[in-house]
Amino acid sequence: MKPLTLFHSAILLSLCLATQGQKNEISILNGRFFCTFPDSAKNIPRSTNIMSADPNKNDETRVVYNVGDKRVVFFAEELYIKSVADLEKKLKEESTKDYPLAVKTIYDKDSSICISTTPSQFDPTQAAIFLKGIIVKSPDNTLSRFSVYLNPKAYADRAAMEKMVDQVFASFRKGGKRLNLSARTETFNVLGTKTQMLLKLPVDYVVTLDKKYDFEVYRVRKLATYGEADHADLNIYYGFHPSMFNTELNLSNFKQADSPGEFMFQKINWMNFKDDSKKIFVREQLFTDDDIQKDAQIHIGMISNNPKLVEELTEIIKQLLLKYDK
């Protein structure tokens, strides 16, 4: 069989792009919004190793479109950031001499806004070449990002690929999913048991669950506003092979004094680590809890660039309640 010539490849690409209609609408970020793709595009999550949690459909969506040896990857991310007024203006300020960006609002309807960001310089030597993306402001005033990458073969047909991508972006339809940012208590069954975790969250906090067959990680995040530097994350791990933050982040030599705390009505000591050069503050502790499941371990880890926010996370843990199946 003779290989495809550039002429035949162009015809094949045109035929594939022509199939786009209303047949292949795909949910992005578990219903945050929808876009219509060429018929052969598929939602294919990232591959992970056996020790890592599977990709969370609330955090990311990966849509892959192949035409022969040309590959286009659409990758959406929930940013967990609140929007600001004059978002387009703020995004334009990110354009620099070294990395110039064209920024333009392409959708503004029904409390949703899509702003495209397109670089004017590309590096065709990269395995994944960033073509363009959109920042999406949802009706709940939070932001997500939808980026498009080409492999070098697809980049060779950049004009045709960009036309197809623009059609996908133009098919944007808002979804019904909203982030719950109210003060509330959320309830989860731990490790597939009847033990329940009651998690009391303040305003502007979200929780997501990452899991594999033998562990779960509840990630609690405080939403910052676009442009703010502060961040605060709390991980609550249930399983049998936890990893300590201070080890993973090489903070063992930055140990601070322990601080008193409370977990499940018991007095505890938190381990603290602080690296001023990296602006990282970590607080964590490890527990064994046979009442959930024999040899089950609980790792609670907090990380922030602001010690005051770590105190907020510590208060969430103080109010956490486990209701055992007894």
Residue 14 falls inside a structural domain: yes
pLDDT score, position 296? 96
With contact defined as beta carbons under 8 Å apart, do 32 and 180 qualify? no
pTM higher than the cut 0.75: yes
pLDDT score, position 53? 81
Residue 75 falls inside a structural domain: yes
Residues 157 and 236 in one domain: no
Residue 179 falls inside a structural domain: no
Residue 1 falls inside a structural domain: no
Residues 190 and 318 in one domain: yes
With contact defined as beta carbons under 8 Å apart, do 296 and 239 qualify? yes
Q: Domains in the chain: how many in total?
A: 2
Residue in the block written with tokens 């607080």: 283
pLDDT score, position 4? 40
Residue type, 117: T
326 residues of the chain, pLDDT tens digit each? 344 444 444 444 544 554 444 589 999 999 999 999 999 999 999 988 777 788 899 999 999 999 999 999 999 999 999 999 999 999 999 999 888 999 999 999 999 999 999 999 999 999 999 999 999 999 999 999 999 999 999 999 999 999 999 999 999 999 999 999 999 999 999 999 999 999 999 999 999 999 988 899 999 999 999 999 999 999 999 999 999 999 999 999 999 999 999 999 999 999 999 999 999 999 999 999 999 999 999 999 999 999 999 999 999 999 999 999 86
Residues 113 and 216 in one domain: no
Residue 274 falls inside a structural domain: yes
Residues 29 and 125 in one domain: yes
b/e per residue, 135-172, with b = 16+ CB within 10 A? Answer: bbbbeebbbbbbbbbbbeebbebeebbeebbeebbebb
Residues 71 and 148 in one domain: yes
Residues 71 and 218 in one domain: no
pLDDT score, position 175? 97
With contact defined as beta carbons under 8 Å apart, do 57 and 76 qualify? no
Residue 77 falls inside a structural domain: yes
CATH number at residue 268: 2.60.120
Question: At which of 147, 174, 201 does a domain end?
Answer: 174
Residues 255 and 166 in one domain: no
Residue 167 falls inside a structural domain: yes
Q: Which three-class secondary structure string do you get for 48-87? A: CCCCCCCCCCCCEEEEEEEECCEEEEEEEEEEEEECCCCH
Residues 64 and 90 in one domain: yes
Question: At which of 122, 147, 174 does a domain end?
Answer: 174
Residues 168 and 238 in one domain: no
Residues 188 and 119 in one domain: no
Residues 206 and 305 in one domain: yes
Residues 51 and 105 in one domain: yes
CATH number at residue 142: 3.40.1000
Residue 156 falls inside a structural domain: yes
Range(s) of the domain holding residue 268: 184-323
**CA–CA separation, 4 and 319 (whole Å):** 64
Question: At which of 151, 174, 197 does a domain end?
Answer: 174
Residue 304 β-bridge partners: 232, 281
